[in-house]
Structure 1
Amino acid sequence: MTTKFDLVILNGVVVTASDIGKFDIGIKGHTLTPSFSAEEIAGAEIVDAEGGMVMPGGIDGHVHLCQDLKTGPLGLGGECADNFETGSRSAVCGGTTTIITFATQTRADEDRSLLKVVEAYSARAEATGSYIDYGFHVIIVRDDEDVLETELPVLVEQWGITSCKLFMTYETMRLQDYQLLDVMLAALKHSITTMIHAENGEMIQWLTEKLESKGMMAPYYHALSRPQSVEGEAANRTIVLAELIESPILFVHVGSSASAAVIRAAQTRGYPVFAETCPQYLNLTWEDLKRFHSPTCFENSKMICSPPPGPDSSDQDSLYLGLHNGTFTIFSSDHCPFKYDDPHGKMVGILEHEPSMRGPSREDISFPELAHNKVGSFRMIPNGIPGVETRLPLLFTRGISTGRITPQKFVELTSTNPAKLYGLYPRKGAILPGSDADIVIWHPEGTLPPFTLENKHLHHNVDYTPYEGMKFNNWPRYTILRGKVMWANGVLLGKPYDGEYLKRGPNQLGKGVAHFKKDPRRVAAWVRE
Structure 2
Amino acid sequence: MGIRHGHTRGLLLIRGGTVVTAQASFRVDVLCGDVGEILAVGPDLDIPSNGTVVDAGGLLVMPGGVDPQTGIGADEAGFARTVAALSGGTTTILDTMHPDGGRLDAAWRDWRHAARHAHVDVGLHMAMPDSGTVVMRHMDVLVAEHGVNAFHLSMADGLSDHDILELTSHAAACGALCMIEAQNAQAVAYLRAGLDHAGITGSEACLLSAPPAVEVEAVGRAIMLAGLSGGPVHVGPVSTTGATEVLAQTRLRGQRVEAHVLAPHLVVDEAVHDPEGDAVPDSCITLPPFRDGMHRRALWGGLASGNIGMVASGFRPAGGAGNGVADGLGQRMRVVWQHGVRAGILTAEEFVAATSQAAARAFNIYPRKGAIMPGADADIVLWDPDAQETCVSGLYAGITLGGRAVQVIRGGVTVWKDDMPCEGAGYGAYVPCPAFRPQLSERMRRAAHLSMRDGERHDRGP
Q: TM-score of the superposition, structure 2-length normalised?
A: 0.89
1:360-395 superposed Cα distances (whole Å, 9 cap, x missing partner): xxxxxxxxxxxxxxxxxxxx9976332111101111
Instruction: Give, in angstroms, the shift of residue 335 of structure 1.
Output: 0.8
SS in 2 for 1:403: coil
Distance 1:451 1:245 in 2: 47
1:330-385 superposed Cα distances (whole Å, 9 cap, x missing partner): 111111132xxxxx58xxxxxxxxxxxxxxxxxxxxxxxxxxxxxxxxxx997633
1:499 equivalent in alignment to 2:428: yes
Determine if contact 2:227/2:445 at 8 Å carries over to the other structure: no
Distance 1:497 1:411 in 2: 26
Counterpart of 1:341 in structure 2 is none
The gaps in structure 1 that reach 5 residues or longer are 68-79, 339-343, 346-379, 456-464, 524-529
Counterpart of 1:162 in structure 2 is 149
Instruction: Give, in angstroms, the shift of residue 504 of structure 1.
Output: 1.2
Distance 2:28 2:452 in 1: 52
Determine if contact 2:234/2:258 at 8 Å carries over to the other structure: yes
Instruction: Count residues in correspondence.
Output: 441
Matches within 5 A, 1:31-430: 31-34=37-40, 35=42, 37=44, 39-66=46-73, 82-86=77-81, 88-107=82-101, 111=102, 113-126=103-116, 129-148=117-136, 150-170=137-157, 174-290=158-274, 294-295=276-277, 299-310=280-291, 312-338=292-318, 384-430=325-371
1:51-93 superposed Cα distances (whole Å, 9 cap, x missing partner): 21110000111112145xxxxxxxxxxxx7942122x211111
Instruction: Give, in angstroms, the shift of residue 146 of structure 1.
Output: 3.2
After superposition, the Cα gap between the structure-2 partners of 1:36 and 1:285, relative to the gap in structure 1 and judged at 3 Å, is: closer
Give the partner amino acid of 1:123.
Answer: H
Counterpart of 1:451 in structure 2 is 389
Counterpart of 2:19 in structure 1 is 14
Determine if contact 1:220/1:300 at 8 Å carries over to the other structure: no
Structure whose CA Rg is larger: 1
Distance 1:381 1:267 in 2: 28
1:119-173 superposed Cα distances (whole Å, 9 cap, x missing partner): 11112223xx22121111100112212330x222211121100100011123xxx
SS in 2 for 1:320: helix
Distance 2:372 2:46 in 1: 22
Determine if contact 2:331/2:401 at 8 Å carries over to the other structure: no
Instruction: Give, in angstroms, the shift of residue 475 of structure 1.
Output: 1.3
After superposition, the Cα gap between the structure-2 partners of 1:135 and 1:519, relative to the gap in structure 1 and judged at 3 Å, is: closer
Instruction: Give, in angstroms, the shift of residue 243 of structure 1.
Output: 0.8
After superposition, the Cα gap between the structure-2 partners of 1:147 and 1:221, relative to the gap in structure 1 and judged at 3 Å, is: closer
Counterpart of 2:403 in structure 1 is 474
Counterpart of 1:461 in structure 2 is none
Give the partner amino acid of 1:156.
Answer: V
Determine if contact 2:227/2:452 at 8 Å carries over to the other structure: no
Instruction: Give, in angstroms, the shift of residue 249 of structure 1.
Output: 0.6
Give the partner amino acid of 2:23.
Answer: S
1:284-341 superposed Cα distances (whole Å, 9 cap, x missing partner): 1210123x8x25x76454412110121x211111111100101112111111132xxx
Give the partner amino acid of 1:7.
Answer: L
RMSD (Å) for aligned C-alpha atoms:
2.6
Distance 1:49 1:388 in 2: 24
SS in 2 for 1:25: strand
After superposition, the Cα gap between the structure-2 partners of 1:518 and 1:136, relative to the gap in structure 1 and judged at 3 Å, is: closer
Mean CA deviation greater in 40-49 or 429-438: 40-49
Counterpart of 1:23 in structure 2 is 28
Distance 1:381 1:503 in 2: 23
After superposition, the Cα gap between the structure-2 partners of 1:481 and 1:494, relative to the gap in structure 1 and judged at 3 Å, is: farther
Distance 2:115 2:45 in 1: 41
Counterpart of 1:490 in structure 2 is 419
After superposition, the Cα gap between the structure-2 partners of 1:487 and 1:33, relative to the gap in structure 1 and judged at 3 Å, is: same
Distance 1:519 1:66 in 2: 36
Instruction: Give, in angstroms, the shift of residue 439 of structure 1.
Output: 0.3
Determine if contact 2:149/2:435 at 8 Å carries over to the other structure: yes
SS in 2 for 1:165: strand
Determine if contact 2:230/2:446 at 8 Å carries over to the other structure: no
Distance 2:364 2:162 in 1: 28
Distance 1:519 1:335 in 2: 34
Give the partner amino acid of 1:314.
Answer: M
Determine if contact 1:8/1:24 at 8 Å carries over to the other structure: yes
After superposition, the Cα gap between the structure-2 partners of 1:218 and 1:331, relative to the gap in structure 1 and judged at 3 Å, is: closer
1:379-421 superposed Cα distances (whole Å, 9 cap, x missing partner): x997633211110111111111121101111111111111111
Determine if contact 2:97/2:125 at 8 Å carries over to the other structure: yes
Distance 1:95 1:504 in 2: 21
Distance 1:38 1:502 in 2: 29
Distance 2:56 2:231 in 1: 44
Distance 2:46 2:223 in 1: 57
Counterpart of 1:373 in structure 2 is none
Q: TM-score of the superposition, structure 1-length normalised?
A: 0.78
